[in-house]
């Protein structure tokens, strides 16, 4: 945090003294540094380095919420923000919509928290980032099948300070990065692409350069095998549409979880508050405790505490401690993701810490926790074991395009790599695969989940929500799974090509 402790204390005193008679108030001071590096054919294409620094104040006064923010981080401005936020609350109170209440949250006192990382990736010189991506790109280009490459690296360092009327004073530091390389192959029949599978992570620079034995990604191994996999994909037959058993790798399944479970169990969506923009949810509140979301092997949690999770925090953006909680237990819907206002309005005693603002200039809104599917334990099946139980099927690897309706019910997903399964063994690649289902049919057909050895924490930097729009990072852990009898389309035929 660029401000010293005494400067933060002065801001806190100025803001919270001015808000002393409010029902609730908090001040957030944030410095967010975001970097982008992109290469095409091993040559720099784009670099960007942006820092956002400012403070925001949210109040609940006379049953209405108000918010104001500024880049002028001085004690006098902090008190002024409270006045502006109260003026906004007075305006919103006349707009209707009912009285705002926040679920109670105890004071957490002085909190200092950091995500787990070695080297903040935003501190690494841009030249070093370009050199690493260029070297990796040239490795791919050395294969005769590869015509072009692209590489990208996104890095964020997020430093925040939050103080509220409850007495919480939280200083936090989160880092995250995402690195991808993609290769393109050409043939007379067209082209194919293939991308690395490394997930975005709440880790430091060591995820790219450290030993894989320490939990970092094995880039050397993936870059060595990717060109030949791409060449095989170019030669692969187009899939024949029909019904198949699917073994879905975590590199693909995380996105299906995000779209069909993560968004569907946000309670503000389920009760209609996102209907005008992002839709609603088939998992309506009246079905809590009774909806058969999936098969009995389905155990899903929301988690703001998992190590290296993109949505992991010590304290969320409205002063609530990070928690882990059940969403689906034994296949039944048992919980939702909550912020303090939706928790209070729907009769919950406490928020489960799902509030986030992507900027000091934005008001916190309900955002997704790390929503993850549990594995079946240390003795659970390997991916090879799951494949061995399939007579006719497809092994799905890597994410690509997706489509889902506004209630998060009817969906279609593609992927990066697909392998035919015959009599319990992989029989080479097929292509143009898209799998289609309803949410409850898909998860209800999940027969088995892999063991701990198959579990991977995937996710995305760019989950969008809200009006005005905000972007949040979120992780989704999952094992490999076996899903029976899923409809598979030939995406090329469906597109009319």
**Over residues 178-189, mean pLDDT:** 93
Pick from 251, 48, 52, 310: which is nearest to 154 by CA? 48
Residue 271 has pLDDT above 90, yes or no: yes
Report whether 420 contacts 429 (CB < 8 A).
yes
Report whether 236 contacts 431 (CB < 8 A).
yes
Report whether 324 contacts 305 (CB < 8 A).
yes
The per-residue pLDDT for range 459-493, each reduced to its tens digit, is 999 999 998 899 999 999 999 999 999 999 999 88
Residue 189 has pLDDT above 70, yes or no: yes
The per-residue pLDDT for range 447-458, each reduced to its tens digit, is 999 999 999 999
Lowest mean pLDDT across 34-38, 49-53, 277-281, 446-450 = 277-281
Confidence band, pLDDT 50/70/90 cuts, at residue 39: very high
The per-residue pLDDT of the chain, averaged, comes to 96
- Burial category of 423 from C-beta neighbours within 10 Å (exposed 0-12, middle 13-18, buried 19 and up): exposed
**Over residues 345-367, mean pLDDT:** 97
The per-residue pLDDT for range 381-409, each reduced to its tens digit, is 999 999 999 999 999 999 999 999 999 99
pLDDT of 497 reads 58
Lowest mean pLDDT across 87-96, 281-290, 360-369, 396-405 = 87-96
**Over residues 205-226, mean pLDDT:** 93
71, 342, 413 from 494: Cα distances, Å:
50, 41, 13
CATH superfamily placement of domain 5-235: PmbA/TldD superfamily (3.30.2290.10)
Residue range(s) occupied by CATH 3.30.2290.10 in the chain: 5-235
Q: For the chain, how many residues are written?
A: 497
Residue 54 has pLDDT above 90, yes or no: yes
**Structure tokens given for 124:** 């690494």
Residue 167 has pLDDT above 80, yes or no: yes
């Amino acid at each position: 945090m660029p401000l010293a402790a005494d400067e933060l204390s002065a801001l806190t005193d100025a803001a919270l003294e001015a808000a002393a008679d409010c029902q609730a108030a908090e001040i957030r001071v944030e410095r967010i540094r975001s970097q982008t590096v992109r290469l095409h054919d091993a040559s720099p294409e784009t670099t960007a380095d942006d820092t956002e620094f400012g403070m925001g104040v949210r109040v609940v006064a006379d049953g209405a919420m108000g918010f104001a923010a500024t880049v002028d981080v001085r004690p006098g401005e902090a008190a002024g923000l409270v006045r502006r936020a109260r003026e906004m609350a007075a305006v919103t109170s006349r707009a209707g919509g009912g009285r705002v209440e926040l679920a109670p949250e105890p004071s957490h006192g002085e909190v200092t928290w950091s995500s787990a990382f070695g080297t903040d990736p935003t501190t690494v010189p841009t030249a070093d980032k370009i050199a690493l991506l260029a070297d990796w790109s040239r490795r791919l280009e050395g294969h005769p099948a590869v015509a072009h490459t692209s590489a990208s690296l996104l890095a964020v360092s997020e430093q925040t300070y939050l103080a509220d009327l409850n007495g919480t004073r939280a200083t936090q530091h989160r880092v995250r990065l995402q690195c991808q390389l993609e290769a393109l192959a050409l043939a007379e029949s067209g082209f194919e692409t293939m991308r690395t599978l490394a997930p975005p992570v709440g880790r430091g620079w060591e995820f790219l350069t450290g030993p894989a034995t320490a939990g970092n990604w094995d880039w050397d191994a993936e870059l060595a095998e990717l060109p030949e996999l791409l060449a095989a994909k170019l030669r692969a037959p187009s899939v024949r549409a029909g019904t198949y058993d699917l073994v879905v790798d975590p590199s693909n399944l995380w996105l299906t979880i995000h779209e069909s479970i993560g968004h569907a169990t946000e309670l503000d969506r389920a009760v209609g508050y996102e209907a005008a923009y992002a839709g609603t949810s088939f998992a309506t509140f009246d079905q809590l405790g009774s909806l058969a979301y999936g098969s009995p092997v389905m155990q899903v949690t929301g988690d703001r505490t998992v190590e290296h999770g993109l949505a992991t925090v010590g304290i969320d953006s409205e002063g609530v401690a990070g928690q882990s909680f059940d969403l689906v237990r034994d296949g039944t819907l048992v919980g939702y993701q909550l912020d303090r206002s939706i928790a209070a309005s729907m009769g919950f005693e406490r928020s489960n810490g799902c509030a986030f603002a992507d900027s000091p200039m934005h008001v916190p809104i309900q955002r997704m926790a790390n929503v993850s599917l549990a594995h079946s334990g240390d003795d659970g099946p390997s991916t090879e074991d799951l494949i061995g139980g399939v007579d006719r099927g497809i092994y799905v690897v890597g994410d690509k395009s997706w489509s889902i309706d506004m209630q998060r019910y009817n969906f279609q997903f593609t992927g990066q790599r697909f392998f035919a399964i015959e009599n319990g063994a992989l029989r080479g690649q097929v292509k143009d695969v898209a799998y289609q289902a309803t949410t409850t049919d898909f998860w209800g057909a999940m027969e088995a989940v892999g063991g701990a050895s198959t579990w991977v924490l995937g996710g995305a930097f760019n989950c969008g929500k809200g009006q005005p729009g905000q972007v949040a990072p979120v992780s989704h852990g999952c094992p490999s799974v076996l899903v029976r009898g899923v409809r598979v389309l030939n995406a090329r035929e469906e597109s009319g090509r």
